[in-house]
Amino acid sequence: VSNTSQYDLPTDAVSELSVATNGVVSFKEGYSRTITNTKNGGTKISILKVDSKDNQIKLKDAEFKIKRFGGGYEKTLQTNLNGELTFDNLPIGTYIIEEIKAPKDYKQNTIWYTFQVDSDFTIRGLAGVNGKSGTIKVENTPITLDVVLYKKNRADNSPLNGVEFELQKDGVKLGTMISESDGKVNLKDLRPGNYKLYETKTKDGYILPNDSILDFKVTGDGNFTWLKGEIQIVGPQIVLYNDQYALQILNVDSGKRTTKVKGVTFQLYSDADCQQVVRAYDSNKNQTTSTQKTEFTSDVDGSLKIYGLAANKTYYLKVIKAADHYLKPEGVASFTIDAQGKITWHSPPEWEIVTSDSHSLTLAHQWRLNMPESGTKDILILRMVGLLLLIGGGVIAIRSHNHK
């Protein structure tokens, strides 16, 4: 039994027959059947599977089914590495092609393609296809995820704008993002894969992380999976916090260093001549231009903190007012703060430094007795006391002389 190339073999049993040892084929007595072959003319239709956002990306392993109405032709094929497949030797009839399985990480295309193979074996009903063969370009939309992050100050939850980020996927840089006025950072059209987010530039006074601040994965179903990094989920928001570094100074008594010294006032300068005064903050909360200060005074615990200083810049610090009953330390200290908030100090010899490290300085102050100023109430009282002492001493001396 044979067939010509332009006819399709039937797929069901032809008839009941037997084959003798000499090769003679015979049918059962009284049995007959009409055998019909469907003619084809070598007609074929191909599929080219591409990414909807970049047609240069060809998609493998997409699965398609073709079916002829009325039966007689049905096949299922997958696209190859070049995103191609071909249904060939199509008999005359009406067909439907549908995608039954999408490529990995892509949404399934739900469009059905219908067409006819006419009696002359030409294709009709498909746009752009003429003659006995043609190609249908079928696009798939990639599964993507939009991630919205918010950059905020940890101390008061205020938004941080102008912070720059770099996003990488599998070690390849995808782009640079900058936080908006409300701290929002938009990561758009993220395809499945592993990502790292780096903070490359931060605001003055904030610690710049030296590693990725967020590692995450976009899964094949378009979901977000956190892998590494300190985040907080606040309602629908994914929040990334920044900490501020601070210049911290502790003031103590030179003779009794457990005694804290209140009321020491410092001033910061951007130049060694101490002409350009620096404006900064004495709190890491509610920071606005109106809360900036130029003078910083130690509290009852002898402590003060200065926030909002730029990294990798040299500052100059001096005492402009001593605490009551203490001498004012002379000289000017200088320091720099690196991107991670570590301080390098250069203190003048006039300062009595108890301790200094990468985050703070402890300064000892010499005590003194403050004499009242001339003309004040206190000096009048002292003079009266002195006069009374002189009079009393004179009376005692006279009595002693008379007694002798």
**What are the tokens at 200?**
């490359």
Give the whole-angstrom CA distance, residue 84 versus residue 103. Answer: 12
Write down the pLDDT at residue 205: 86
* Same domain? 252 vs 237: no
Residue type, 241: Y
For the stretch 182-217, pLDDT in tens is 999 999 999 999 999 999 999 888 888 878 888 999
* Same domain? 134 vs 230: no
Give the whole-angstrom CA distance, residue 371 versus residue 188. Answer: 70
* Same domain? 211 vs 306: no
Quick count: other Cβ atoms within 10 Å of Cβ 138?
20
Question: Per DSSP, what are the bridge partners of residue 167?
Answer: 175, 197
63-67, 234-238, 282-286, 318-322, range with the lowest pLDDT: 234-238
Q: How many distinct structural domains can be found in the chain?
A: 3
Asked if 283 contacts 307 with a C-beta cutoff of 8 angstroms, the reply is yes
Phi, psi values for residue 224, rounded to 5°: -100, 130
- Residue 376 falls inside a structural domain: no
Write down the pLDDT at residue 221: 87
* Same domain? 116 vs 211: no
* Same domain? 104 vs 172: no
Top-confidence residue, 270 or 232: 270
Supply the range of the domain harboring residue 190. 145-242
Write down the pLDDT at residue 213: 85
- Residue 212 falls inside a structural domain: yes
Write down the pLDDT at residue 403: 58
* Same domain? 134 vs 192: no
Among 8-17, 160-169, 205-214, top mean pLDDT goes to 160-169
Of 242, 257, 278, the domain-final residue:
242
- Residue 30 falls inside a structural domain: no
pLDDT-derived band at 36 (thresholds 50, 70, 90) equals low
Give the rounded percent of residues in the chain with a pLDDT score beyond 70.
81
- Residue 206 falls inside a structural domain: yes
* Same domain? 254 vs 361: yes
pLDDT at residue 345 greater than cutoff 90: yes
Length in residues, the chain: 404
Mean pLDDT of 72-101: 96
Give the whole-angstrom CA distance, residue 169 versus residue 107. Answer: 21
* Same domain? 264 vs 356: yes
- What CATH code is carried by the domain that includes residue 275? 2.60.40.10
Give the rounded percent of residues in the chain with a pLDDT score beyond 90.
58
Phi, psi values for residue 275, rounded to 5°: -105, -30
53-67, 119-133, 385-399, range with the lowest pLDDT: 385-399
- Residue 324 falls inside a structural domain: yes
* Same domain? 100 vs 149: no
CA-CA-CA-CA torsion sign (381, 385, 386, 387): positive
pLDDT-derived band at 28 (thresholds 50, 70, 90) equals low
Asked if 141 contacts 106 with a C-beta cutoff of 8 angstroms, the reply is yes
Top-confidence residue, 107 or 374: 107
Asked if 160 contacts 151 with a C-beta cutoff of 8 angstroms, the reply is yes
Give the whole-angstrom CA distance, residue 345 versus residue 361. Answer: 9
- Residue 310 falls inside a structural domain: yes
pLDDT at residue 2 greater than cutoff 50: no
Of 347, 365, 383, the domain-final residue:
365
Of 140, 167, 187, the domain-final residue:
140
**HSE of 266, CA atoms in CB hemisphere, 13 A:** 32
pLDDT at residue 342 greater than cutoff 50: yes
pLDDT at residue 33 greater than cutoff 60: no
Write down the pLDDT at residue 5: 47
**What are the tokens at 253?**
């008594």
* Same domain? 224 vs 260: no
pLDDT at residue 233 greater than cutoff 50: yes
**HSE of 140, CA atoms in CB hemisphere, 13 A:** 28
* Same domain? 116 vs 87: yes
* Same domain? 54 vs 159: no
CA angle 135, 138, 143 (to 5 degrees): 160
For the stretch 42-61, pLDDT in tens is 899 999 999 999 999 999 99
Residue type, 246: A
Residues with Cβ within 8 Å of 94's Cβ and at least 6 positions away in sequence, in order, are: 68, 69, 70, 114, 115, 116, 117
Write down the pLDDT at residue 159: 92
Give the whole-angstrom CA distance, residue 204 versus residue 245. Answer: 9
